[in-house]
Amino acid sequence: MAAAGVSSLAGVTGSMATAGPGGSVSPGAAVTPAAGRSSTGKQPFTRYAVVSTWDFGAAANAAAFARLTSGGSLLDAVEAGARVPEADPQNHSVGLGGYPDRDGHVTLDAIIMDDRGNLGAVAALEDVVHAVSVARKVMEKTPHTLLVGAGATQFALEQGFTREKLLTPQSEAAWKEWLKQSRYQPQANIENRNQYLQPGSAGNHDTIGILACDTAGRLAGACTTSGMAFKLRGRVGDSPQCGAGLFVEAGVGAATSTGVGEEVTRICGTARVVASMRAGMSPTEACREALQHLIRLRGDALRGEQVGFLALSPAGEVGALALLPGFTYAVTDGSGKTSVLPADHLQT
């Protein structure tokens, strides 16, 4: 078992990415301290921090950081970041080109949330690429928090989103290959690999959870996914559920999750992580508490399953931890420098 807690940079040269000027980022530490103090008085606020799940998060963080530093709000930033993998047909776990359900339909789940309890989400959305933007419209234009299925698509079209085919020839081919055996088995870390790209390579892609904080210690987050590949039709995972795939609380923290959504959902994973932060734990300790609870609860049922949590404090302190090795995350500090880091893990 690896030591839980602060991640090591060793052995990840393939997945390490750095961009922009400025100093380095240490996981578990506040990034680029600037003016102000957190609500607990323990940590200086950062200028900005953006964190997101998996290798491809570097590109998403860059888009988010660009929005933040050009006057966009935190919600603008996390939405812009989430849209990057949504538009990427090579990413088979989110948006365009996502792997379909077992009947061949690509269905998307997404959520966006600020730290004042404002949130919007969609689940089982079809034929619209930018699920996170539809989720934001749910937040801003309706009294509801979650729209699903045909109703979500109808709402998106009414809001001016265009209908598009999300199943690409590559994803369709993968689905047809899967149909030969039709074996439903979640694969750990599938987000960081596909049939054309090796884990850790620069072109890796994935489902995204993205969190951001600003100089005032405000927080926001988003999460978007096509869910588990070849899932049962109608299946909705953790990602669009408040407190499962994403939770944000003013003055306390934000958390997002990745991996097998059923496991995250059964423990209200991100709500639990943020509750632990409210009780005084660091982001990393809070992620560990939630995963250890899951291990106690599920035991051998978790064998081979990946679950990862990523958390951010109002001061820009980052925590990440997973059940299994292989979970990576991208951290962008207040200077715009991005590092892709391996999360520590609790099991092998």
CA distance 292 to 67: 36
Query: 78: which residues sit within 8 A by CB, 6+ positions away?
Result: 50, 64, 112, 210, 211, 212, 220, 221, 222
For the CB of residue 335, give the shortest distance to ligand SD4 in the complex, in Å. 28
The token pair at 147 is 């729209």
Contact flag: residue 328 with ligand SD4 (CB under 6 A): no
207 is catalytic: yes
Site pattern 57..96 for ligand SD4 (x: CB under 6 A):
------------------------------------x---
For the CB of residue 94, give the shortest distance to ligand SD4 in the complex, in Å. 8
For the CB of residue 141, give the shortest distance to ligand SD4 in the complex, in Å. 25
Site pattern 246..265 for ligand SD4 (x: CB under 6 A):
------------xxxx----
For the CB of residue 307, give the shortest distance to ligand SD4 in the complex, in Å. 8
Give the nearer residue to ligand SD4 in terms of CB position, either 240 or 283: 240
Give the nearer residue to ligand SD4 in terms of CB position, either 30 or 341: 341
CB of 287 closer than 8 Å to CB of 309:
yes
Contact flag: residue 225 with ligand SD4 (CB under 6 A): yes
Contact flag: residue 237 with ligand SD4 (CB under 6 A): yes
Give the nearer residue to ligand SD4 in terms of CB position, either 45 or 230: 230
Residue 40: burial class (beta carbons within 10 Å; 0-12, 13-18, 19+): middle
Give the nearer residue to ligand SD4 in terms of CB position, either 27 or 237: 237
Q: Which of 57, 97, 227, 283 binds ligand SD4 (CB under 6 A)?
A: 227
Catalytic residue among 207, 256, 258, 270: 207
Give the nearer residue to ligand SD4 in terms of CB position, either 38 or 241: 241
Give the nearer residue to ligand SD4 in terms of CB position, either 30 or 108: 108
Give the nearer residue to ligand SD4 in terms of CB position, either 308 or 319: 308
CA distance 309 to 135: 21
Query: 75: which residues sit within 8 A by CB, 6+ positions away?
Result: 112, 114, 136, 220
Q: Which of 207, 270, 276, 282 binds ligand SD4 (CB under 6 A)?
A: 207
Residue 240: burial class (beta carbons within 10 Å; 0-12, 13-18, 19+): buried
For the CB of residue 343, give the shortest distance to ligand SD4 in the complex, in Å. 13
Query: 170: which residues sit within 8 A by CB, 6+ positions away?
Result: 89, 90, 92, 97
Please choose, out of 172-180, 210-218, 237-245, 295-303, the segment that lies near ligand SD4 by the rule CB under 6 A.
237-245
For the CB of residue 297, give the shortest distance to ligand SD4 in the complex, in Å. 17
For the CB of residue 223, give the shortest distance to ligand SD4 in the complex, in Å. 8
Contact flag: residue 133 with ligand SD4 (CB under 6 A): no
Question: In the complex, which residues of this chain contact ligand SD4 (CB under 6 A)?
Answer: 93, 191, 206-207, 225, 227-228, 237-239, 258-261
Q: Which residues are catalytic?
A: 207
